[in-house]
């Protein structure tokens, strides 16, 4: 059986850097630690990424590409089940790059390049959620006054984007560990979707509550400290 081709060093560097950033936080990870984790010399690391800022920029570029691929699906949401899947997929992507959300204030204050990029991602999230509300309305699943739709979309984006910060604040030792991921994602998707509950037609609202009950058997969605 032929051996698999080894992954390119630059790709391995990004994967290991992402794992370290997620585990310890970007401000706490040095290029020396990254090189040691990879088992390569600092010089080899610098050849591919001459500075830590370049590693951060490359990861953020990858994150935005993956996020935009998901956000395009907002206009295709037709019912509560579609919305659940859409939002859970977004939360999974956020979890994959969770260091960005945990360390966002620090990253923005120390990396000027990220300011505009983060704003663009927030705007794209808001457009996607707005498209989702419009699609749900067009399909008859949702009845919402256009004057209410905009602040509702913004509220959903706020919960979506800062849910992991809430999880971290309520359980700093455990919230961002892989073992806690599924429960955190389910709670987040549940709370974002519940912002839609007042505007869903009766059958869709009942379906949402049934989905929540089913998933609650896997992870408690209303757990608080």
With tokens 């956000």, the residue in question is 71
3-class secondary structure, 198: helix
Task: For the chain, list residues with pLDDT below 50.
Answer: 1-6, 220-225
3-class secondary structure, 17: helix
Give CA–CA dist 47/44, Å, rounded.
5
What is the model's pLDDT at position 222? 43
How many helical (H) and strand (E) elements, i.e. helices and strands, does the chain have? 11, 0
What is the model's pLDDT at position 7? 56
The contacts of residue 197 (CB under 8 Å, 6+ apart) are: 205, 208
Q: What is the pLDDT of residues 142-193, one digit of tens each?
A: 999 989 999 999 999 999 999 988 888 888 777 777 787 878 888 888 899 9
Q: What is the pLDDT of residues 11-25, one digit of tens each?
A: 999 999 999 999 898
What is the model's pLDDT at position 224? 42
């Amino acid at each position: 059986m032929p051996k698999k081709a080894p992954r390119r060093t630059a790709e391995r560097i990004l994967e290991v850097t992402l794992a370290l950033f997620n585990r310890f936080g970007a401000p706490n990870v040095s290029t020396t630690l990254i090189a040691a984790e990879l088992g390569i010399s600092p010089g080899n690391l610098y050849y591919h990424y001459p500075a830590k800022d370049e590693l951060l920029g490359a990861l953020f570029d990858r994150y935005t590409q993956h996020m935009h691929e998901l956000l395009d699906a907002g206009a295709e949401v037709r019912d509560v089940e579609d919305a659940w899947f859409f939002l859970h997929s977004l939360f999974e992507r956020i979890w994959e790059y969770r260091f960005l959300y945990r360390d966002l204030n620090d990253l923005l204050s120390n990396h000027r390049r990220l300011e505009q990029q983060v704003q663009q991602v927030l705007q794209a999230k808001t457009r996607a959620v707005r498209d989702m509300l419009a699609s749900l309305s067009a399909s008859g699943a949702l009845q919402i006054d256009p004057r209410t739709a905009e602040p509702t979309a913004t509220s959903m984006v706020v919960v979506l984007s800062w849910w992991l910060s809430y999880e971290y604040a309520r359980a700093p030792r455990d919230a961002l560990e892989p073992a806690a991921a599924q429960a955190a994602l389910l709670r987040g998707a549940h709370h974002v979707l519940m912002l839609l509950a007042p505007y869903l037609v009766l059958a869709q609202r009942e379906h949402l509550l049934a989905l929540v009950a089913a998933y609650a058997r896997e992870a408690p969605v209303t757990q608080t400290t």
